[in-house]
């Protein structure tokens, strides 16, 4: 099974040009499938039946896997077998009628503008670490980029003269404008704080830890959590919360959905439109509270 999975991932990378994160996600899901099937004596994907796949879905449900995780696994399995069928490795596709569980769509957690202001005010910009943290938080909120994109930025991705950053994921890249506040925070970091951390002239990563090594997702999450606690934000926020907040605040202030879609890097506009629905809910809430005849 491992060989077929490796060939499938190579196909995604070389032919479909999928992003690194997508490939990791597929590989993780399919490795879990392979382990499950091997434990039941099935060592070859050609031996797996529709009943075996349905049993695997039932197993994940019994193990209390999140509906979204199960749905993603179903999508991974379908993509794998579509590849195997196309390559002639299997003569029938047992995943063809495999049905994922219904996923309850949760409304993304969004900070109020005041909460964002309070959060961004927390770093102590009299210290190198505070200058770095301020630049990261300002840039994340200014662009709506994913934390994985933030920590993989290179020095060459930043154009302070024209006030934009180039955000890349896999072979896809998008240019996102930045405002004066995030530009100034970045300039201060590059001039004052980054040289304190980075001693290796060959290091191209924009944001590093205090040892001059690339910042990790976990490292940034701890930074964010600490400042959220200091700002008195009681909700359990994640780096993605700033991405959601960016989108909603942009739309609330008049940005068109197509522009927000491009800045977020959504391939499908329906993904971006969820934020429009959140605006509708907010307007209804305001109306019901304020209108004298509501």
Judge whether residue 286 has pLDDT over 50: no
- The mean pLDDT value for 216-230 works out to 93
Predicted confidence at residue 233, as pLDDT, reads: 93
Three-state SS for 215-264 is CCHHHHHHHHHHHHHHCCCCCCCCHHHHHHHHHHHHHHCCCCHHHHHHHH
Predicted confidence at residue 139, as pLDDT, reads: 95
Round the average pLDDT of the chain to a whole number and report it. 86
The most confident of the ranges 163-167, 168-172, 233-237 is 163-167
Question: Which position has the token pair 């491009």?
Answer: 262
Which segments of the chain does DSSP mark as H helices, in order? 2-11, 20-39, 50-62, 67-86, 113-120, 128-143, 147-151, 180-188, 194-197, 217-230, 239-252, 257-264, 269-290
Q: What percent of the chain has pLDDT over 70?
A: 88
Give, rounded to a whole angstrom, the gap between the first and last alpha carbons of the chain.
Answer: 61
The bridge status of strand 164-169 relative to strand 158-159 is: antiparallel
| Residues constituting the chain | 294
Same fold, 2-86 and 113-288: no
Question: C-alpha 193: how far from its chain's center?
Answer: 27
Question: Which region holds residue 17: left if phi is over 0, alpha if psi is between -120 and 50, else beta?
Answer: left
Predicted confidence at residue 291, as pLDDT, reads: 41
Which one is the CATH code of 113-288: 1.10.443.10, 3.90.1150.10, 3.40.50.10480, 3.40.50.1370? 1.10.443.10
Judge whether residue 290 has pLDDT over 50: no
- The mean pLDDT value for 185-201 works out to 95
Question: C-alpha 195: how far from its chain's center?
Answer: 29
pLDDT in tens, 63-115: 878 777 888 899 999 999 999 999 999 888 999 888 877 655 566 788 889 99
129 with 189: CB under 8 angstroms?
Answer: no
Give 270's pLDDT tier (boundaries 50, 70, 90). low
Q: Which of 22-31, 221-230, 255-264 has the lowest mean pLDDT?
A: 255-264
| CATH numeric code, 2-86 | 1.10.150.130
- The mean pLDDT value for 116-145 works out to 95
List the structure tokens of 257.
């959905």
What are the strands of the beta sheet with 164-169, ordered from one edge? 158-159, 164-169, 172-177
Q: Give CA separation, 103 vs 25, 60, 69, 113, 130, in Å.
A: 18, 14, 9, 30, 40
pLDDT in tens, 3-29: 889 999 999 998 888 888 888 889 999
240 with 146: CB under 8 angstroms?
Answer: yes
- The total of other beta-carbon atoms located within 10 Å of residue 84's CB is 20
- The mean pLDDT value for 147-173 works out to 88
CA dist 135 and 132 (Å) reads 5
- What are the sequence ranges of the domains in the chain? 2-86, 113-288
Please report, to the nearest 10 degrees, the dihedral formed by the alpha carbons of residues 177, 178, 179, 181 taken in order: 180
- The 3-state DSSP class for residue 205 equals strand
206 with 58: CB under 8 angstroms?
Answer: no
């Amino acid at each position: 099974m491992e060989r077929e999975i490796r060939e499938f991932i190579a196909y995604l990378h070389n032919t479909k040009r999928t992003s690194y994160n997508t490939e990791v996600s597929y590989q993780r899901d399919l490795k879990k499938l392979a382990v499950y099937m091997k434990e039941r004596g099935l060592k070859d994907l050609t031996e797996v039946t529709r009943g075996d796949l349905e049993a695997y879905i039932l197993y994940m449900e019994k193990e209390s896997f999140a509906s979204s995780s199960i749905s993603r696994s179903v999508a991974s399995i379908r993509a794998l077998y579509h590849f195997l069928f196309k390559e002639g490795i299997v003569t029938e596709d047992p995943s063809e009628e495999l049905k994922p569980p219904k996923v309850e769509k949760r409304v993304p957690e969004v900070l109020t503008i005041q909460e964002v202001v309070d959060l961004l005010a927390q770093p102590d910009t009299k210290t190198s670490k505070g200058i770095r943290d301020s630049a990261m938080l300002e840039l994340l909120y200014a662009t709506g980029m994913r934390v994985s994109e933030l920590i993989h930025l290179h020095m060459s991705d930043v154009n302070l003269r024209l006030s934009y950053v180039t955000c890349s994921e896999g072979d896809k890249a998008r240019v996102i404008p930045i405002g004066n506040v995030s530009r100034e925070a970045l300039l201060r970091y590059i001039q004052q704080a980054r040289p304190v951390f980075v001693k290796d002239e060959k290091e191209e990563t924009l944001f590093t830890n205090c040892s001059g090594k690339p910042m990790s997702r976990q490292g940034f999450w701890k930074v964010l959590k600490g400042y959220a606690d200091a700002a008195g934000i009681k909700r359990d926020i994640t780096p993605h919360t700033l991405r959601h907040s960016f989108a909603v605040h942009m739309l609330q202030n008049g940005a068109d959905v197509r522009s927000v879609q491009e800045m977020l890097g959504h391939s499908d506009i329906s993904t971006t439109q969820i934020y429009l629905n959140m605006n509708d809910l907010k307007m209804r809430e305001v109306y019901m509270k304020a209108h004298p005849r509501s």
